[in-house]
Chain A
Amino acid sequence: MLSTLIWFPVLGAIAIAVLPLRQLKLAALTISGIALLWTLWIAHQFNFTNPLLQFQEYLPWLETLGLNYQLGVDGLSLPLLMLNSLLTWIALYSSEEEIERPRLFYSLILLVSGAVAGAFLAQNLLLFFLCYEVELVPFYLLISIWGGEKRDYAAMKFLLYTALSGALILVAFLGLVWLQGADSFAYDALMGQSLPLWVQTVLLSLVLVGFGIKIPLVPLHTWLPDTYVAASTPVAILLGGVLAKLGAYGIFRFGLGLFPEAWATLAPGLATWATVSVLYGAMVAIAQKDIKRMVAYSSIGHMGYILLGGAALTALSLVGAVTQMVAHGLILAILFHLVGVIEAKVGTRDLDVLNGLMNPIRGLPMVSALLILGGMASAGIPGLVGFVSEFLVFQGSYSVFPLQTLLCVVGTGLTAVYFVILLNRTCFGKLDNAIAYFPKLEWRERVPALILALTILFLGIQPTWLVRWTESTTTAIVATVPPLTQPTIASVNRPVNSPQTVGWVVPDNSIK
């Protein structure tokens, strides 16, 4: 059942590359559309009261290496799988009709989609690593072939950074297995490892730095603005919307999941690191003159909230962190899409040149309206999805790390500052009639933004649909961690009607 999510896009990619098809975009859309529907079907079948892995698959592969084909999905990965499928479809839909080398482009995107799904599903450390690395090369090509200015530099930087990230993660995985003396890389077998705390801490640090590059966290982030800006719109959507989430997912799955004690020890440092990332990203974003770069830096700030939620390690903050991944993916996708549309129509991304796009006759009123929605969602205005996840993170983290949480609230204020700068310069103001001969909006430019906007709005008003996949899994994860951090603020009559906490039981490897 889960394998379909990996192999269907991959086979589709091969089919597009090889078969003499005419309507390449339509074919790619169909393939990713089917994958999306299949993901939704899995979500429909998913039992969200069960915190454990579901729909597990197991095939022995290279048993001597400890590498087996083990898949499973739980509340941590399911929302991200849905995000991946949705954003792949959106990215394909928003790509240009007359793109160069369409065969390669569509195949690579589908390949990326399959590999990312594999990484989210893999329950074997080596399998995860394999998928994690496989997605790298297509992205390198996507950036260096279809990118904009300085694409070679950006692609190479991306490749080197991500390769380093992969190497660190591999070292950590190998170290864990050898020191533990385990005979396989199966995730569930390694979960109850019994290494001394300092070894755990060293391994966890490797994992943190490795995935921290991917997220990215300050100061490991400098590949991000260059890469996001150089990438074309569909690739930027996938990079920011999905790939960054792979880093955050990795930190939770393989950092927190494998080394809970070390995680709890490092938590205060992580919370501070997260706060620094939030404030740093927001401050640098304020200084940007290029709207795409501004959005890219906003991403650094927003990924910090995820780490904060993870560091606080309460049931609430962890749910918030996972929902923040989804929320941020959706918001970043709509922002990159709209920025791409503006660049394509107006021909510039420079804040000092853009003006008055909200003009109803000659401007881009719909793009402006949706840009306001996206920016405000990013700034955490209630009623939109960004608020829900940020609020859950804040409320969950406040009792553990009050100071860091409050500083992150300041970070949302700074987010509002740069988005107001962006909106005021691009949408508001007087449109220069001399240059206002913009091409008409096409459907491929409208529909993705509308779908994303409606999703952002719907999940903001009905957040139950966002949190219910995750809740039982994250609650179970929190229950495995020894309580090291005492709440610094005493709590009186806190409601006790929290859902029953279920132990983080090791599931058996039965084939389903």
Chain B
Amino acid sequence: MAQFLLQTVWLIPCYAIVGAIVSVLWSPALIRRTGPRPAGYVNLFMAFLAFGHSLAAFPIAWQHPAQQISVSWLQVAGLDLTLPIEISTVTVGATLVVTGLNLLAQIYAIGYLEMDWGWSRFFAFLAIFEAGMCSLVFCDSLFFSYIILEVLTLGTYLMVGTWFNQSLVVTGARDAFLTKRVGDLFLLMGVLAIYPLAGTWDFSELAQWAQNATVDPAIREALPPGIATLVGLALIAGPMGKCAQFPLHLWLDEAMEGPVPSTILRNSVVVATGAWVLIKLQPVLALSPVVLAVMITIGALTAVGGTLIAIAQIDVKRSLSYSVSAYMGLIFIAVGTGQTEAALLLILSHALAQALLVMSTGSIVLNSITQDLTQLGGLWSRRPISGLCYLVGVAGLIGLPPFGGFWALLKLADGLWATQPWLVAILLLVNGLTGFSMIREFGLIFAGSPQPMTQRSPENFWLITLPMMVLMGLTLHLPLILQSLSLLPSWAMLNKDMAMLLLWSSLIGSGMGAVVYVGQSIPKPIQLPWQRLQRFFAYDLYTPQLYRSSIVFCVDWASRLIDWFDRQIIDGAVNLVGLVSLFSGEALKYGNSGQGQFYMLTIVVGLAAIALSMSWSLILH
């Protein structure tokens, strides 16, 4: 039975797919009588099955060594596309996180979308995301990971576009799709390019190949550093899009136009899909120092820039989304410095904490009917549960012992100290700024006096509050779970100086946030003396304008120009040929005058010409 449960973990994505397919029955054209709600219940049941299965399989996977299953997909002309499925503690554990969060998000969604009509669509997309992420976790192949990432790109487009009749939603969905697609296509180029080099797409074999490439001169020779760098850069572009790193970060912010229940998954685990692929690719990327340097630079820029932008936002969800970019930036740093374990731990702690933050703010947004931070305030007495959940989320996110984020950041800082100490400074800065940004949001929502929009704001009903509280419990228990999995360092191994530094950075950051935003002595909204700087961050470093005036502008004009060329020059030439032949035919028609002499003359001239040409050689001699 135990083996059976473990061997059939590949069913976990299938449950969700079944749910998504069944939901089609409740799409508008088919079953109308019941309304769309049954689609939600079916998917909830399937999510529960998936969660139960992974929960049951996890302890078994813990006791067994990693296993591989292969499923043949396509064999053509020497190309063998077999889907390798890896069943190990890490993969089953990751599935457990995904299915667990998805289950909570679906319960939350049933409460949150009480009044919505697009249930079958929405829940089908949630299920597709669950299936995609679970299969991404299990599949041990770059090619199939690419396929899944692309499908999730389409999923993001449709998911963000759930409320498609609002104009911001439409542009948000478009930007999400195109930005991620740009990353995906670079990833596809990397996928195409690496196969002739390595002869495989399996992550484990790629790692082996990369290891050989560093020692084996034959492989080394076939792989000039330029090519290794280009391939590596193409491969990180996909994760950059998924993880919303600079300069492809725009979409995550705009994706916040989608419904909150989908944001729970997006901010916590969907963005982590890119990080997951990045971790799997780490040995290949490590072949080129340039690629590692680029990863670290992008990660550091996004981490610092993202938190600064987050502090300048006045939208509840957008502020959170930039923090997500920032944390994914930390993961880029972690992978760039070769610390995959720290990266995995950070993904886990970030996923739980971020999901909790989104749930808690979402529950505020739902019945305050605004997500504008300047219109919220004074909710602590009215919404104590949401407030507590928010605080627990913050504690789980930043480096505050003994919660989850602390251990992940500590592990990362430890490793960085040994290799690139200057990155520790970045880490501490980002941690402190995140603390500031989170407490700022807390202060603006919960502290102060009630605003018109928050006068009537009771706690929501159980469908929303219960999953939120369950997740709060999980976030609080994360250190215990980590300890039972012996993922925490022992007291003797603990780098106490680093721990103190991390703690101080969190305390200073959150403390300053509390002084400024929870305390009421400073009038709000806060205006920095340098208006331009504040706007610079508030408007997301003017990235949308930058894109509009560069890439979008170029493509738009180039397409118009080529279209003009097509209409006027090419088609014009064709039509000119047609016209010329028509006119010459018309003109020649007047040659038929009906006069016998004229015909005779033509014949004579023709005959003379023929005779002349026949005797040309004679004349010449």
- Chain A interface (Cβ within 8 Å of chain B)? 157, 160, 219, 221-223, 280, 283-288, 314-316, 318-319, 356, 358-361, 365-366, 369, 372, 376, 381-383, 387-388, 392, 394-396, 398-399, 402, 405-406, 409-410, 412-414, 416-417, 420, 424, 427-431, 463-464, 467-468, 471, 474-475, 487, 489-499
A-contacting residues, B605-620, CB 8 Å: none
Residues of A within 8 A of B426 (CB): none
Contacts A359-B165, A383-B151, A413-B181 given; does A474 touch B77 at CB 8 Å? yes
Q: Is the pair B566, A284 in contact by a Cβ cutoff of 8 Å?
A: yes
Interface residues of B in 169-201 (CB under 8 A from A): 169-170, 173-174, 177-178, 181-182, 185, 188-189, 192-193, 195-199
Given the known inter-chain contacts A395-B195, A428-B161, A492-B199, please indicate yes or no for A382 contacting B147, CB distance below 8 A.
Answer: yes
Give the chain B neighbours of A412 by CB distance below 8 A: 185
Minimum CB–CB distance for A281 against chain B, Å: 10
**Chain A contacts for B181, CB-based, 8 A:** 413, 416
- Whether B185 contacts A413 by the Cβ 8 Å rule is yes
Q: Is the CB of B185 within 8 A of A409?
A: yes
Residues of B within 8 A of A160 (CB): 578
Which of B76, B154, B197 has the most chain A CB atoms inside 10 A of its CB? B76
Contacts of B150 in A (CB 8 A): 381-382, 387
Report the interface size class on chain B: 35 or more
Residues of B close to A316: CB separation below 8 A: 76-79
Q: Mark B42-78, 1 if CB is under 8 A from A, else 0.
A: 0000000000000000000000000000000111111
Q: Which of B74, B157, B227 contacts A467 (CB 8 A)?
A: B74
Minimum distance in angstroms from A479 CB to a CB of chain B? 11
Whole-angstrom distance from the CB of A396 to the nearest CB of chain B? Answer: 7
Asked if residues B196 and A399 are in contact (CB atoms below 8 Å), the reply is: yes
Using A315-B78, A376-B154, A429-B167 as known contacts, say yes or no to A492 and B198 having CB atoms under 8 A apart.
Answer: yes
B555 contacts A382, C-beta separation under 8 Å: no
Contact B77 A319 (CB under 8 A): yes
Q: How far is the CB of A225 from chain B (nearest CB, A)?
A: 8
The one of A358, A474, A497 in contact with B80, judged by C-beta atoms closer than 8 angstroms, is A497
Chain B residue at minimal CB-CB distance from A355 = B165
Q: Is the CB of B227 within 8 A of A497?
A: no
Residues of B within 8 Å of A493, CB to CB, are: 199
When the two chains form the complex, which single residue of B73, B192, B227, B570 contacts A395, counting CB atoms closer than 8 Å? B192
Measured between beta carbons, the chain A residues less than 8 angstroms from B604 are none
Task: For the complex, give the distance between the alpha carbons of A356 and B164 in Å.
Answer: 8
Task: Mark contacts of B314-348 with chain A using CB atoms, 8 A cut-off: 1 yes-contact digit, 0 otherwise.
Answer: 00000000000000000000000000000000000
CA distance A474 to B147 in the complex (A): 26
- Choice from A381, A402, A431, A475 contacting B77 with Cβ under 8 Å: A475
Which residue from B147, B151, B165, B560 sits with its C-beta under 8 Å from A429?
Answer: B165
Other A-B pairs, 5, CB within 8 Å; known A316-B76, A382-B148, A429-B167: A361-B28, A398-B196, A413-B181, A429-B170, A492-B218
Q: Are A424 and B170 in contact (CB under 8 A)?
A: yes
B117 at the interface (CB under 8 A from A): yes
With A288-B563, A360-B28 as known contacts, state yes or no: A497 contacts B78, CB within 8 Å.
Answer: yes
Contact (Cβ within 8 A) B185 A410 = yes
Asked whether A417 lies within 8 Å of B178 as measured between CB atoms, the reply is: yes
Is there an interface contact between B222 and A490, defined as CB atoms closer than 8 Å?
yes
Q: Is the CB of A383 within 8 A of B199?
A: no
Residue among B77, B193, B562 with most chain A CB within 10 A? B77
Q: Are B566 and A222 in contact (CB under 8 A)?
A: yes
Please tell me if the beta carbons of B555 and A381 are within 8 angstroms of each other in the complex.
no
Q: Considering the chains assembled together, what is the distance between the CA atoms of A71 and B73 in angstroms?
A: 34
Which residues of A lie under 8 Å from residue B80 when comparing CB positions? 495, 497
User: A406 contacts B562, CB within 8 Å?
Assistant: no
CB neighbours (8 Å) of A490 from chain B are: 196, 222
- Check if A464 sits within 8 Å of B74, measured CB to CB: yes
**B571 within 8 A of partner (CB):** yes
Question: Which one of B148, B174, B196 lies within 8 Å of A424 (CB-CB)?
Answer: B174
Question: Does B559 sit within 8 A of A, measured CB to CB?
Answer: yes
B294 proximity list for chain A (CB < 8 A): none
**Are A287 and B222 touching (Cβ within 8 A)?**
no
Contact A420/B196 with A369-B27, A372-B158 known, Cβ cut-off 8 Å = no
If A358-B164, A429-B165 touch, does A284 touch B78 (CB 8 Å cutoff)? no
Are B164 and A381 touching (Cβ within 8 A)? no
B611: shortest Cβ distance to chain A, in Å?
A: 30
Given A287-B563, A474-B77, A219–B164 Cβ distance below 8 Å? Answer: no
Choose among A395, A467, A492 the residue that contacts B222 (Cβ–Cβ < 8 A): A492
B115 contacts A by Cβ under 8 Å: no
CB–CB B78/A420 < 8 A: no
Q: Kindly list chain B residues whose C-beta atoms are within 8 Å of the C-beta of A428.
A: 161, 164-165, 169-170, 173
Once the chains bind, are B78 and A286 in contact (CB under 8 Å)? no
Contact mask B415-427 → A, CB, 8 Å, 1/0?
Answer: 0000000000000
Contacting pair B178 A416 (CB below 8 A): yes
Q: How far is the CA of A1 from the CA of B312 in the complex (A)?
A: 74
